[in-house]
A and B are shown apart, each in its own frame.
Chain A
Amino acid sequence: MSASWAASPSELLMQLATRAAVRKRSAVRRRLTLISGLAMLGLVIAAVLLAPVLTGQSATAIDVLHPLAPPGTGGHLLGTDQYGRDLLARILYGGRIDLAIAFGATSVTLVGGTVIGLLAGYVGGRLDSVLMRIVDLFFAFPFLVLIIAIIAMLGPSLFNMFLAIWITSWVSYARIMRAQTVTAKKQQYVLAAKALGYSGFRVMFRHILPNTAAAVIIFSMVDAVGNIILAASLGFLGLGVQPPTPEWGSMISDGQNYLLTSWWLATLPGLAVVVVGVAFSLIGDGLADILRPGDR
């Protein structure tokens, strides 16, 4: 640090104060959001996978003696539902389904949509027009409604939920990626790569993609939050997995009937959804801070 000259003690103090303020906004703090998000998510995943270890109870076993037990009674940490099934166990096991959808649906649409967007943007011309028209078409529908309609036609099941999401959610990624690719095409590094005679695939995947991936990756976190909520929503509407398999959304729906007496049935599973949602949000914000500083 170069020597600086202060005319008076108060000036020196001012300088020190500003330097401290500057340091606060350093890299460590920026990573804090990302780290806390990852930590939260990690904990949830661990809890859900280690369900048999964390609770000896079964998610479907009926405890005739303790139906609708409030949290803490009868050896049930979070209480029981109307059939006396342990809520903690149901939440932990149910989480597997919701998390599976969050990861499974998001990853496929991320990859699929990105590739399609990349192709459309890079190749341009007819292919671009056709693909983007299809994208626009999908955007004309409210996604939930479309997904419900697709599940209606195919029949409610876990796999059909995946299918419905795959069919409809790739469009957001395609649109983002296409816009990024179109801009990237005009950049120096792409022109250079093309001039060197690299094949289209190589330019797309080894040059353009790494430089533009930030946008879709950040968006995938937002999408993951959406998919978790979507999974729970479909479960809530009775369009997901069928009983007695536990799933957070259907649990909330069941719990609504007992809102007046047993608030924990509807509230606690929802809390689980919120926790996972916040975790993904933090990861997304953290990534955004790192990959694109200065947006605050």
Chain B
Amino acid sequence: MSSPLLTVRDLHSYLATGQGVVRAVDGVSFTVRQAEVLGIVGESGSGKTATCRTIMGLMPASIVHTGGEVIYHPHGDVNLLKLSDREFQGLRGADLAMIFQDPMTALNPVLSIGDQLIEAINAHSKLTAAESRARAVELLERVGIPAASRRMRDYPFQFSGGMLQRALIAIALASSPRLLLADEPTTSLDVIIQDQILSLLLELQQDTGMSLILVSHDLAVISEMCDRIIVMYAGQVVEEGAAADIITAPRHPYTHALLDALPHSAARGRLRSIGGSPPSLVDVSPGCRFAPRCRFVTDECLTWQTELVEAGERGHAARCWRHQELAERQEPWQHSELA
């Protein structure tokens, strides 16, 4: 097992909105190891994007509270949350990079792709103009953009969604970061392109040995790509573990429900959506936050002080006090396509 790269400990991130204080991230902990692919899965509003942005220091101005630690080990175990924006600048791009969900709006519309890529390259290196340009072309080719040299001069509006996402990946990799956070990188692309982009990401990850955090609401995508998985709900981690364990032996009712909702289940006549809607992150309930929508809820669940309990091997944990019973009651989970 490789050494840890980034350790998130009890992370909190609260935002002020018109409806009150939203607890976007409410006590999240996990570790990312070197050359590991970690998946974060959850519905919208689960806090997965907020977690990534907090790690990168890219939260909006309405943030009112951050708590916990984000320890980046290669730099002497520095806590990223304690860094000033200036200090953080040095790390962004060179150590940590991020790509966002909608490629159509993630690039400056009035600058050429080449300019924006060269800007990323020059942020952390001192190359001559010719060298930067050459490196930029090289990067574009590496991410699979044909006629890279000519396309340097083009503007974002001249690229398709898939091409833009490739360009964004090139920008993210420009300074050879150790950790790449990919927030729903394929959600706004169509299915065929999705596959291409995901394969590209995996390929790049394996080539460079960087760690990758992949965020998605699509468990199918996550299971294919990741070594370890974190399942998030209402700002908390509700289950974590090795990908294979999570998929074959889920220990939290929410994870069960997510797997049930996948089209693969339809073959066994078990396609079920998860009833109800995500809870308010302003008025959080004292007990289990998933209780209102849980198939296995009991009265005790409503007041139980939730915590992650060990539920299996290889660091498998779940935030459910009934996980043992549920494991015994369930049929063994078979998802041959996913495992």
- Name A's B-contacting residues (CB within 8 A): 2-5, 14-15, 18-19, 21-22, 25
Q: Is B199 an interface residue (CB 8 A)?
A: no
By the criterion of a CB under 8 Å from any partner CB, how many residues of chain B are at the interface?
12
Q: Is the CB of A18 within 8 A of B20?
A: yes
Q: Which residues of A contact B65 (CB under 8 A)?
A: 14
Alpha-carbon distance A25/B286, docked complex (angstroms): 30
Residue of A nearest to B283 (CB): A4
CB of B21 within 8 A of CB of A5, answer no
Q: Using an 8 Å CB-CB cutoff, how does the interface string of B216-231 with A read, 1 for contact, 0 for none?
A: 0000000000000000
Q: Are B21 and A22 in contact (CB under 8 A)?
A: no
CB of B21 within 8 A of CB of A18, answer yes
**A2 and chain B: residue at smallest CB distance:** B283
State the CA gap A14–B285 with chains docked (Å): 17
Interface residues of chain B, those whose CB is within 8 Å of chain A, are: 16, 18-21, 64-65, 282-286
A15 touches B284 (CB 8 A): no
A22 to chain B: closest residue by CB: B18
Report whether B286 and A5 are in contact in the complex, using a CB–CB cutoff of 8 Å: yes
Contact of B285 among A5, A15, A21 (CB under 8 A): A5
Q: How far is the CB of B278 from chain A (nearest CB, A)?
A: 16
**Which residues of chain A come closer than 8 Å to B21, judged between CB atoms?**
14-15, 18
Query: Nearest CB to that of B286 among chain A residues?
Result: A5
Q: Does B285 lie within 8 Å of A22, measured CB to CB?
A: no
Chain B residues, CB < 8 A from A21? 16
Contact of B19 among A2, A3, A5, A22 (CB under 8 A): A22
Q: Which residues of B contact A2 (CB under 8 A)?
A: 283
Report A10 CB to chain B, min CB distance, Å.
10
Ordered by A's residue number, 5 sampled pairs between the chains whose C-beta atoms are within 8 Å are: A3-B283, A14-B64, A18-B20, A22-B19, A22-B20
Q: Which residue from B20, B64, B284 sits with its C-beta under 8 Å from A19?
A: B20
Instruction: Report the Cα distance A14→B64, complex, angstroms.
Output: 9
Within the complex, the shortest CB–CB distance from B91 to chain A, in Å, comes to 30
Please give 14 more A-B residue pairs, beta carbons under 8 A apart, in addition to A4-B283, A21-B16. A2-B283, A3-B283, A4-B282, A4-B284, A5-B283, A5-B286, A14-B64, A14-B65, A15-B20, A18-B20, A18-B21, A19-B20, A22-B18, A25-B18
Per the bound structure, the CA–CA distance linking A19 and B18 in Å amounts to 9
A25–B282 Cα distance when bound, in Å, is: 19
Closest 7 pairs between A and B when the two form their complex, measured CB to CB: A4-B283, A5-B286, A18-B20, A18-B21, A2-B283, A22-B18, A18-B16
Chain A residues with CB under 8 A of B285: 5
In the assembled complex, the Cα of A15 lies from the Cα of B284 at a distance in Å of: 12
With both beta carbons as reference points, the residue of chain A lying nearest to B16 in the complex is identified as A18
